[in-house]
Amino acid sequence: MGNLVPGANAALTAENPDLAKVLVGLGWETIPSLGPAAELVPFAVLCDDSGAALSSEHMVFFNQIASADGSVAFAGSEDAEQIDVDLALVPANVAKIAFIVYVDPDVRGTATFSSVRRAHIRVATAENRELVRFEVPISSADNITAMMFGELYRHRDGWKFRALGQGYTTGLAGVAKDFRIDT
């Protein structure tokens, strides 16, 4: 399938009918710094058809490494982070799974994506055969504190991936508001 541009979609299961599990790799390279550097934290949100998180149990992050149903979980990776998705186990009321990375202000103080040189999200088979990759545009990230890299979403009876690269200047609070997550 190849590399995507912002807003592009890729039909995952239509082009790979036997695809049952995918790994979503998130990676980045930061500029070395003696001062505050961005501590990037990835997470995934399982959403209903209105775009809201189903519940706090439908998020996957460092304190909750798997969704309650076991369909989405963190795993080891060649990327900075890897989230495995068992498409067959994703509950029917999940319309999309959003993959977000935010700058943790508690680790190194105030920082933004300005110290990120490169970032990507990729979707691969369980055997790590890459299906699609999106190089996230970082050029004007001086005030960006969270970014939605991409999303897996249901389309008819299958799954697609959408490349996003949507930045938030309001950090995790802005993401929580958009996904209607109780903080």
How many CB atoms are closer than 10 A to CB 88?
9
Q: Are 45 and 59 in contact (CB under 8 A)?
A: yes
- Gap between the Cα atoms of 183 and 178, Å rounded: 12
pTM exceeds 0.75, yes or no:
yes
Topology annotation, domain 2-21+39-143: Lipoxygenase-1 (2.60.60)
Separation in Å, CA 77 to CA 27, 88, 127, 139, 149: 10, 22, 12, 26, 17
The whole-number pLDDT of residue 182 equals 77
Confidence band of 56 (pLDDT split at 50, 70, 90)? confident
DSSP 22-49: EEEEEEEEE---SS----EEEEEEEE-T
- Gap between the Cα atoms of 51 and 161, Å rounded: 15
Separation in Å, CA 131 to CA 101, 124, 125: 21, 5, 7
The whole-number pLDDT of residue 114 equals 82
The residue count for the chain: 183
How many CB atoms are closer than 10 A to CB 68?
16
> What confidence tens digit (pLDDT) does each residue in 84-138 have?
999 999 999 999 999 999 988 765 566 788 888 899 999 999 999 999 999 998 8
- Gap between the Cα atoms of 57 and 142, Å rounded: 32
Q: Are 19 and 12 in contact (CB under 8 A)?
A: yes
The whole-number pLDDT of residue 34 equals 62
**CA within 13 Å, CB half, 164:** 19
- Look over the chain and give the mean of its residue pLDDT values, rounded to a whole number: 89
